[in-house]
């Protein structure tokens, strides 16, 4: 393993590697941003290993990239990752792009990118003797955890907001999860989950709390680059809620550059809903930490984002852009993805295409290439 330690995004404090570490102790109790820890690696040592591993390694799941992960062992969890990258020339032409690809994360075991983080969480929990995991979620992370725990035969405790859809509840119950429906929104469910997790000694699958989960998510960026022959595309577009997914994509992209598999990093484009856009506002200089109306894009309706510092760091490092789109724009994009790309995405994931159309109105995308991360979409998702 090439992990050298953990570093706090807020205060910069460094800690020894501890598989049971969550947020920064020095920043606990502080109002405002949480002390999110970031996993640090010895990239010069990992470089040789990642090159040789990729050549001889027949794995196609997240553990293909083991030298850049915080575990040295695998335990046979459901295979997350190894999803297709689909060229969509018709949509590229509509946007004036040279090329456009969809990273189809609907092909994961529970049809969602979150499975990448869950694969790492369940692996680390089992390796350190835990028999129960928990998370707060608007639906997708909970469904992901429920599926992986069902496969492993271990306890799964999920905390969901009051407004969770019946479709998502049905998925959770099919997997046999212990479901706690909050009387409030996602942010309240998050606080309830953390309290129950601490009281019961369960392992956390909250991505903005447990620093090792982002490491699983970043494998989507590693995979995209490998599928493109390490030729970096100009833009990577993803929906933004807590900030974990796009932050992870930024980290993965930088790491590939550090181990000399790529010669540059892509520009990150983050998309939020017009109704709930605290990170768009903050990136553009407004001093907000909470924001919120109502939107059908419930997976990114995070009024108080917990991984803001990570996201903002990666956005600046990539000279990225944040924008917000309406539910009407997302709805039109969701239909286009199905009709012109053959991909059924969930509502939130279609925000990526809506965001790219909006970006094309403010700047020319000629001679540029882009990748949309279609983070999830179940066969029974609502259109």
Q: Does position 136 bind Zn ion by CB under 5 A?
A: no
**Residue (25 or 342) nearer to Zn ion, CB:** 25
Among the listed ranges 29-37, 54-62, 69-77, 143-151, the one in contact with Zn ion (CB under 5 A) is 29-37
**φ/ψ of residue 180, rounded to 5:** -110, 115
Instruction: Please report how close the Cβ of residue 39 comes to Zn ion at its closest, in angstroms.
Output: 15
**Residue (26 or 360) nearer to Zn ion, CB:** 26
**Residue (14 or 260) nearer to Zn ion, CB:** 14
Q: Does position 11 bind Zn ion by CB under 5 A?
A: yes
Query: In terms of DSSP bridges, do strands 132-136 and 321-325 run parallel, antiparallel, or are they unpaired?
Result: unpaired
Q: What angle do CA 70, 75, 79 make, to 5 degrees?
A: 90
d(CA 141, CA 144): 5
Instruction: Please report how close the Cβ of residue 13 comes to Zn ion at its closest, in angstroms.
Output: 5
Find residue 322's DSSP bridge partners.
270
**Residue (10 or 94) nearer to Zn ion, CB:** 10
Question: Cα dihedral angle (109, 110, 114, 118), rounded to 10 degrees?
Answer: -70
Instruction: Please report how close the Cβ of residue 36 comes to Zn ion at its closest, in angstroms.
Output: 8
Q: Does position 289 bind Zn ion by CB under 5 A?
A: no
**Residue (222 or 244) nearer to Zn ion, CB:** 244
Q: Does position 35 bind Zn ion by CB under 5 A?
A: yes
Q: Does position 26 bind Zn ion by CB under 5 A?
A: yes
Query: In terms of DSSP bridges, do strands 85-87 and 37-41 run parallel, antiparallel, or are they unpaired?
Result: unpaired
Among the listed ranges 10-18, 200-208, 287-295, 315-323, the one in contact with Zn ion (CB under 5 A) is 10-18
Closest CA to 7 of 20, 248, 21: 21
3-state secondary structure 178-221: EEEECCCCHHHHHHHHHHHHHHHCCEECCCCCCCCHHHHHCHHH
Instruction: Please report how close the Cβ of residue 26 comes to Zn ion at its closest, in angstroms.
Output: 5
Q: Where is 93: in which H helix or E strand?
A: helix 89-95
Among the listed ranges 12-20, 140-148, 320-328, 371-379, the one in contact with Zn ion (CB under 5 A) is 12-20
Among the listed ranges 22-30, 45-53, 219-227, 295-303, the one in contact with Zn ion (CB under 5 A) is 22-30
Instruction: Please report how close the Cβ of residue 280 comes to Zn ion at its closest, in angstroms.
Output: 25
Q: How many residues bind Zn ion, per CB under 5 A?
A: 8
Assign 3-state DSSP to the chain and report helix, strand, coil percentages, each to 5.
45, 15, 40
Structure tokens at 208: 């903005």
Q: Does position 10 bind Zn ion by CB under 5 A?
A: yes
Q: Which residues of 195-216 are buried (b: 16+ CB within 10 A; e: fewer)?
A: eebeeeebbbbbbbbbbbbbbb
Cα dist. 179→67, 234, 279 in Å?
Answer: 35, 41, 29
Instruction: Please report how close the Cβ of residue 69 comes to Zn ion at its closest, in angstroms.
Output: 23
**Residue (40 or 74) nearer to Zn ion, CB:** 40
Among 2, 6, 22, 24, binds Zn ion (CB under 5 A): 24
Closest CA to 255 of 38, 25, 9: 38
Among the listed ranges 20-28, 130-138, 247-255, 307-315, the one in contact with Zn ion (CB under 5 A) is 20-28
Among 6, 27, 97, 120, binds Zn ion (CB under 5 A): 27
Give the footprint of Zn ion on this chain (CB under 5 A). 8, 10-11, 13, 24, 26-27, 35
């Amino acid at each position: 393993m090439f992990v050298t330690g953990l570093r706090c995004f807020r205060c910069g404090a460094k800690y020894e590697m501890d598989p049971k570490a969550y947020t920064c102790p020095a920043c606990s109790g502080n109002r405002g941003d949480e002390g999110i820890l970031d996993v640090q690696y010895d990239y010069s040592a990992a470089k040789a290993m990642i090159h040789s591993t990729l050549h001889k390694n027949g794995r196609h799941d997240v553990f293909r990239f083991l030298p850049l992960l915080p575990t040295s062992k695998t335990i046979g969890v459901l295979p997350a990752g190894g999803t297709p990258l689909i060229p969509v020339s018709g949509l590229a032409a509509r946007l004036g792009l040279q090329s456009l690809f969809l990273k189809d994360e609907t092909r994961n075991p529970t049809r969602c990118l979150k499975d990448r983080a869950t694969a790492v969480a369940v692996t680390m929990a089992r390796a350190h003797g835990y028999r129960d995991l928990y998370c707060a979620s608007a639906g997708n992370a909970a469904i992901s955890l429920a599926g992986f725990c069902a496969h492993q035969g271990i306890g799964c405790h999920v905390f969901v907001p009051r407004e969770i859809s019946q479709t998502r509840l049905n998925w959770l119950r099919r997997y046999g999860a212990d479901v706690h429906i909050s009387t409030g929104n996602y942010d309240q469910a998050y606080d309830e989950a953390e309290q129950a997790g601490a009281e019961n000694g369960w392992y956390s699958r909250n991505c903005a709390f447990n620093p090792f989960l982002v490491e699983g998510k970043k494998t989507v960026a590693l995979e995209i680059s490998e599928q493109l022959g390490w030729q970096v595309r100009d833009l990577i577009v993803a929906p933004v809620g807590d900030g974990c997914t796009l932050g992870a994509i930024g980290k993965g992209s930088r790491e590939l550059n550090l181990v000399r598999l790529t010669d540059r990093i892509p520009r990150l484009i983050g998309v939020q809903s017009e109704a709930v856009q605290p990170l768009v506002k903050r990136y553009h200089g407004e001093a907000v930490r909470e924001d919120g109306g109502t939107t059908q894009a419930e997976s990114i309706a995070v009024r108080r984002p917990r991984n803001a510092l990570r996201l903002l760091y990666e956005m600046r490092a990539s000279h990225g852009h944040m924008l917000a789109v309406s539910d009407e724009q997302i709805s039109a994009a969701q239909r286009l993805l199905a009709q012109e790309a053959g991909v059924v995405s969930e509502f939130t994931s279609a925000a990526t295409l809506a965001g790219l159309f909006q970006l094309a109105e403010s700047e020319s995308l000629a001679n540029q290439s882009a990748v949309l991360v279609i983070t999830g979409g179940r066969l029974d998702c609502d259109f």
